[in-house]
Amino acid sequence: MPTAVNEQLKILVELQKIDSEIYRLKKEAEAHPLLQKKIEEAFDKKKQSLKAVEDELRAAQLKQKEKEMDLQSKEEKVKKLQGQLFSLKTNKEYSAMEMEIKGLKADDSLLEEDILRLLDVVEEVKVKVAKEKEILAVEDKKAKEAIETIKKETAALNAQIAEWEEKRKAYPANVEPRLLTQYERILKSREGLAVVPVVHNACGGCHLGFPPQMLNEIQMQDKVIVCESCARILYWVS
Q: Which residues bind Zn ion (CB under 5 A)?
A: 203, 205-206, 208, 227, 229-230
Q: Quick one: which of 5, 10, 16 has its CA closest to 237?
A: 10
* Least distance in angstroms from the C-beta of 229 to Zn ion: 5
Q: Looking at beta carbons only, is 50 or 206 nearer to Zn ion?
A: 206
Q: Looking at beta carbons only, is 206 or 214 nearer to Zn ion?
A: 206
Residue 43, phi-psi category: left (phi > 0), alpha (psi -120 to 50), beta (remainder):
alpha
* Least distance in angstroms from the C-beta of 203 to Zn ion: 3
DSSP string, 69-118: HHHHHHHHHHHHHHHHHTT--SHHHHHHHHHHHHHHHHHHHHHHHHHHHH
CA atoms within 13 A on the CB side of 90: 3
Q: Looking at beta carbons only, is 33 or 209 nearer to Zn ion?
A: 209
* Least distance in angstroms from the C-beta of 4 to Zn ion: 24
Q: Looking at beta carbons only, is 35 or 214 nearer to Zn ion?
A: 214
Phi, psi of 32 (to 5 degrees): -65, -45
**Amino acid (one-letter) located at 225:** I
* Least distance in angstroms from the C-beta of 131 to Zn ion: 60
